[in-house]
Structure 1
């Protein structure tokens, strides 16, 4: 009683120890089984058997294990449980296949059934239900023992088998004795069972043991061995009884020895019997056991995954996905190399060990075509695009067929089957609707496929007898081709495969999906006026970018403005709108882009957004600083502003005036502004994205500050950039007439604007970005930022980085850092190229 109480208290520990014990037993069984199975012998056997014969053996073995599910159906009826059918099927198969291999007379099955089906029930109820099932496990064998005993009495069988009549008699008595005991309604451990359940258990046991014999005899027939069934049945049953009584897991050893000795009396060679037994153990024990291990791993994994909120599954699938990609690239590379330098795999040992596809060289066309297609498939799986799934499975299937034609190797088949299983297992990782072939992917795949192609061409040139004589090739014989014709065939295959790769890649890309929508002025105004914005929000009215709304287009609270280049989605500035929803909006935006295989790049973002995006795994680089004028303290008085004060007074005395024009503007006003803008551009193309350009619809969105000369003609202007913040003001488009505007006109315009916004109650004036300002100034800064520092100091001949900062330094009191954030899947160099392309893209203004 004390022992039972201790077990109840330590239930979790006992269950854990039990599972560990089962695992150790199974491991030992695998090791012992591997000693009896010779890989070389199996390969020689397989060589004489067709694919159809092996397939039939496997199917028969699996079908013969299937009836054992009946035990667990009845067990759960007795326990009054209604488990999901998939779960019941998987756990039952796992329990029975493990019990077949390492059963210890059925004790393993009892322990596992208690673990998987008895969690929600009392221990006593589970023990009673299991005892009812346990006694019926041998009923089928007992009935077959009776048939075997009758055959001994009434059929001429071998004298060797006759000596085991006592075993058949003992086995046949088990059924009637135990059946009578099970009819008792008082014994709750053996009786108290519904007749329907009792009959189902008897039928299950009979089908199970009949299936064992059918599997054995069917494998022999498929091997071409003809033996008298009525002679074989008593021998098989007696050997099984001895094996079970010996308590040896899987009856390993005792059963085999008796079968070898008994069938030698049928004039069957010992080597043939051993091969027969090996195939029987493979298809009835090992393959179902491996499937059971898959189910066992899945069941334990599900439990473990649930306990840790799904994280183990995510990590596991991520690892499997990475392995898939690596193996697809490795397989493709090795297939191409096997056709390019086949002899190298014999001369270079490490290359031979690295090659997973070890088969005889047949034709170059399949190897080269399959190899390159594997690389493209690897890119599709790496991109997690749904369209890559079935083509990849088809590709692996074609390679399996090619491997059979090229000479069967068990290691090659196992590798390809494993790769196929891993692709199927990680199917859920393929969620994207399309693949956008990024510059990074093109670089990797281009280098790989280009190198393989160049290698092939160089080897062809190397083998040309008119250029080189073969005697000069003593040190690198594996580069020699059997003939120029064979090399030429391979080269033609490369040309053909180039088209195949293009079509395959185009298929994976699918129909390009346009992300985002064109900005609607009314909708944008509604968001900005309701929730506010920032100093970059107004750029959306340029109409040169797409917009993403959150949570939807109907009632948005947040929006992002962006442009796309290659697979990079370049977001201009911080999101605009309801700041409380920024985290959810960023997540929704990243997920939407990810769905269509785009990688967001956040350009000129604030520190607040950097912290949010860091949670999503984004890297960042400081891009520069924004210059802010403190209007609450700004004054022209004092020694520091002496120069600006004198300049302002000079231009004012010359009769220049400052004015604010309110939209909408007349065509006359637009004519004046356009004339100034055209003279300032002097034929240069305008740029957009992060800068305003001359557009009547854009200018009509906000007031414009102008400077007029003595004649009242506009000589300079600056468009307001509403920040949708009460305390901050800014401007965007700044232009002046180089002929009519005197030196210092823009300073005059700035000083007048500062005064205007001071009177309007603004606290800060945003002068805009100073690119690369204060970037990488410390030795410990990121290497990317140190490179940016060099550009800042030595790139003035292309762009006046330092001059722009010095100009803004005259007025700025505060400098706010701005950052560029990019996904870790992007290469920074390509991110910068994309930004340069988009930021410097000329605007073709009508």
Structure 2
């Protein structure tokens, strides 16, 4: 019992110790930096940032080039770590060297050498099938050689005379190589230690050269300050700072090592600050940025999913770069830089550079849209223009800051070329293009006019040419503004006046092929509306098709595609490939609930459009109290007024076309309406003659109302599309036509009648419905004066149908307003009919 209590007490102590160590590990880097800063607080307080900036501009260019050269040699050497530790793996030597260099260049910025970056190594070596245990062993061996060499160099530089230090380092590393080589030959040695003495000696040799070259970079940067310093003292400070950086666990020793160097380097705090900025840039930041570009390109080539947002991010950055270039071109250049430029280039080059700079900024804003969409051509043009913009920034006023930004953006954008595979076919003209052009002109004008307030406008300014004078720069701004405005207007006119790709109606053979497929393996009557000829047809083999129309940036598929059971997923993949090839996004309009799981798996969002009214004909008759309203309407028109009803076969419809045309024109004129399209048919002789037609005749036998009848395969469903009456038709003629058609369909053996959809019926009624559907419900309740939603629902409800929901599927949640407007305009036949539904709809 006492032993149990003692074990519990010891367990609590262990838990407390582990938690304390965990907390200490979390706060250790900050504690170490704080300790270093506390010990050298007086020296740090005396740092003057203005002096640091002055020292930074005074750094010696040749010494910085020497430091850069040693950095390049060091990077080349870093790949040799993996050459040694992964010997015998399936990775070729050149690949090991390249991947090792890349991994070190990237991870060196995050900590020191191989101490970071295991994850990036696993990702890089994954395609070569390297065993995980082998790769982990190589990483541990690299860390051991790297850290042990640092420790030995640190001890030698601080404890021995400079003449003896190299001998000591080589001797100790040789002993370590022998020791590890012998231990690695034992049966119980871990994986990372299992290397021969020669391999360990080579690895320590690489690590030693690595640290020597790194120290040379540091020495070169410190000597570039021009301050007198002994190289041995600089080397001592270098290794001490690196040890502090490793112990601090901060990325690259940033902060901890820097604080130590600022305090202890024997060159003054300001010079030390400038040297450290140069050192961090040359040895850490530069290689890391290059490694990032290479890694991003490799990820793009491999199709990494985490790079999917990159085109949109690049578009934002490119847009920002364009704004920078426009603002830079509109603002005055520094007189000191212009005087330098005057000695090298003629004034004409400066003038042309301003014009090209303004035009390049505008073009980059336009191209950012194409980059966001993943267009290959837009990407290539953007890279070229970013490089042009960088050159122009230098030629117009030695604006090297803007040039660096544009060159860097060009490099980053070029590295992502594999992500841009689309052919850009979307129309360029639209409100977005107009807004972009206005934005470019606005930025340029606002920056320019606010920068040149001290000069009074005179017409002669337009013809003033010079280098450094203020009027010369005002003149350049005015000419560039005019040139930018003319270019923007010219582009908008060109884009707006281009003839758009026309819609090509399907051929007669294509319509016949689609109707045959539907007869063999389709259901319902909605797909029969492909015969209206106002939709394109996508065929998938010989047993599936879908009717669609391209509008704006969308491919809108009408109703349910006709697809054999079990082939829906393959059909969707092919349809999505078509949309991708056309550079459009898929929208499904009026699809049944059956398709929702399949579309959900492809990432679509859904909006309930309304409910379709389906009447089972077996239960319909004119008997009983339930149907007495319809019975009275039929008796009144047939018994009292002598009206009659017939269904004309497709072959006989042509003889009635003149009368049907007269009725249709009267109906459109009375309703002040125009024909619709896509989801509703229009008066089309070829369309009407493909199907039976229901006619209502007056007492003289003259047709006064008609409806074209859509007969589904296997007599499963009956429906109508066009239903119109003349101005002389009595009240109740539509009820009469419907009731007689329902009785005819029942007698002919049809199972159901489809009254079509009641838009927004039962949409968004529940408080927990989606925001878009709740907004649609408000329109359903309060938009009756314009759209008659409730009246249409009530009319169909009196036939006591069952209600089947219909949906719209669209790619992203936020696209609902765009997709709805585009489809609504398509159906209405134009913006006028869409905005004035009482004066432009059928």
User: 1:626 — aligned with what?
Assistant: 612
8 A Cα contact 1:96 1:109, kept in partner: no
Asked if 1:77 is matched to 2:87, the reply is: yes
8 A Cα contact 2:615 2:754, kept in partner: yes
Separation (CA, whole Å) in 2 of partners of 1:411 and 1:368: 17
8 A Cα contact 2:74 2:210, kept in partner: yes
**CA distance 1:220–1:575, change in 2 (3 Å):** same
User: 2:756 — aligned with what?
Assistant: 768
User: 2:466 — aligned with what?
Assistant: none
8 A Cα contact 1:114 1:126, kept in partner: no
Deviations 1:558-579 (A, max 9, x none): x331222222333322333235
Structure 1 residue 643: deviation in Å? 3.9
SS of the counterpart of 2:707? strand
Separation (CA, whole Å) in 2 of partners of 1:818 and 1:782: 16
User: 1:165 — aligned with what?
Assistant: 163
Q: 1:805-816 to 2 correspondence within 5 Å?
A: 805-816=793-804
Cα RMSD (Å): 6.3
User: 2:586 — aligned with what?
Assistant: 600
Separation (CA, whole Å) in 1 of partners of 2:139 and 2:792: 84
User: 1:562 — aligned with what?
Assistant: 548
SS of the counterpart of 1:668? helix
User: 1:734 — aligned with what?
Assistant: 723
8 A Cα contact 1:629 1:813, kept in partner: yes
Is 814-823 or 530-539 further displaced after alignment? Answer: 814-823
User: 1:638 — aligned with what?
Assistant: 624
Separation (CA, whole Å) in 1 of partners of 2:135 and 2:95: 25
User: 2:340 — aligned with what?
Assistant: none
**CA distance 1:828–1:127, change in 2 (3 Å):** closer
**CA distance 1:612–1:330, change in 2 (3 Å):** same
Structure 1 residue 411: deviation in Å? 8.0
Asked if 1:757 is matched to 2:745, the reply is: yes
8 A Cα contact 1:722 1:730, kept in partner: yes
User: 1:62 — aligned with what?
Assistant: 72
SS of the counterpart of 2:317? helix
**CA distance 1:121–1:812, change in 2 (3 Å):** closer
Deviations 1:449-503 (A, max 9, x none): 4754785799799999699xxxxxxxxxxxx999974653343143255168659
Structure 1 residue 319: deviation in Å? 5.2
Separation (CA, whole Å) in 2 of partners of 1:404 and 1:22: 47
SS of the counterpart of 1:561? strand
User: 1:589 — aligned with what?
Assistant: 575
User: 2:485 — aligned with what?
Assistant: 495
**CA distance 1:450–1:209, change in 2 (3 Å):** closer
Is 384-393 or 672-681 further displaced after alignment? Answer: 672-681
SS of the counterpart of 1:811? coil
Is 719-728 or 274-283 further displaced after alignment? Answer: 274-283
Q: 1:393-792 to 2 correspondence within 5 Å?
A: 393-401=383-391, 419=409, 423=413, 427=417, 429-434=419-424, 435-437=426-428, 441-442=432-433, 445=436, 448-449=439-440, 452=443, 485=475, 488-498=478-488, 520-549=510-539, 552=540, 554-557=541-544, 559-578=545-564, 580-582=566-568, 585-586=571-572, 588-590=574-576, 592-594=578-580, 596-609=582-595, 613=599, 616=602, 618-653=604-639, 655-665=642-652, 667-671=654-658, 673-674=660-661, 676-678=663-665, 680-681=667-668, 685-708=674-697, 714-724=703-713, 726-738=715-727, 743-773=731-761
Separation (CA, whole Å) in 2 of partners of 1:455 and 1:238: 52
Structure 1 residue 823: deviation in Å? 4.2
Is 394-403 or 762-771 further displaced after alignment? Answer: 394-403
**CA distance 1:32–1:571, change in 2 (3 Å):** farther
**CA distance 1:99–1:688, change in 2 (3 Å):** closer
Structure 1 residue 538: deviation in Å? 0.7
Structure 2 gaps of 5+ residues are 1-17, 247-252, 334-350, 459-469, 834-842
**CA distance 1:622–1:31, change in 2 (3 Å):** farther
TM-score, normalising length: structure 2: 0.68
User: 2:839 — aligned with what?
Assistant: none
Structure 1 residue 835: deviation in Å? 3.0
8 A Cα contact 2:185 2:196, kept in partner: no
Structure 1 gaps of 5+ residues are 1-13, 149-161, 344-360, 468-479
8 A Cα contact 2:587 2:811, kept in partner: yes
Deviations 1:379-417 (A, max 9, x none): 223223222323333344345445666888998788667
8 A Cα contact 1:71 1:133, kept in partner: no
Deviations 1:499-534 (A, max 9, x none): 68659989xx99979999868134313431332133
User: 2:342 — aligned with what?
Assistant: none
8 A Cα contact 1:239 1:255, kept in partner: no
**CA distance 1:43–1:645, change in 2 (3 Å):** same
Structure 1 residue 645: deviation in Å? 1.8
**CA distance 1:652–1:107, change in 2 (3 Å):** closer
Separation (CA, whole Å) in 1 of partners of 2:122 and 2:84: 16
Deviations 1:42-73 (A, max 9, x none): 86566468999967854552233312322321
SS of the counterpart of 1:770? strand
Q: 1:376-391 to 2 correspondence within 5 Å?
A: 376-391=366-381
8 A Cα contact 1:91 1:295, kept in partner: no
**CA distance 1:451–1:441, change in 2 (3 Å):** same
Deviations 1:66-91 (A, max 9, x none): 1232232122225x553796566334
User: 1:835 — aligned with what?
Assistant: 823
**CA distance 1:496–1:22, change in 2 (3 Å):** farther
8 A Cα contact 2:706 2:723, kept in partner: yes
Structure 1 residue 540: deviation in Å? 0.7
Separation (CA, whole Å) in 1 of partners of 2:443 and 2:121: 57
Number of corresponding residues: 749
**CA distance 1:278–1:498, change in 2 (3 Å):** closer
Structure 1 residue 539: deviation in Å? 0.8
Q: 1:99-248 to 2 correspondence within 5 Å?
A: 108=115, 120-121=132-133, 164-171=162-169, 193=196, 239=235, 243=239
Structure 1 residue 814: deviation in Å? 2.8
**CA distance 1:119–1:30, change in 2 (3 Å):** farther
SS of the counterpart of 1:752? helix
Deviations 1:261-300 (A, max 9, x none): 7xx9xxxx9998997787566534554466678899999x
**CA distance 1:621–1:65, change in 2 (3 Å):** closer
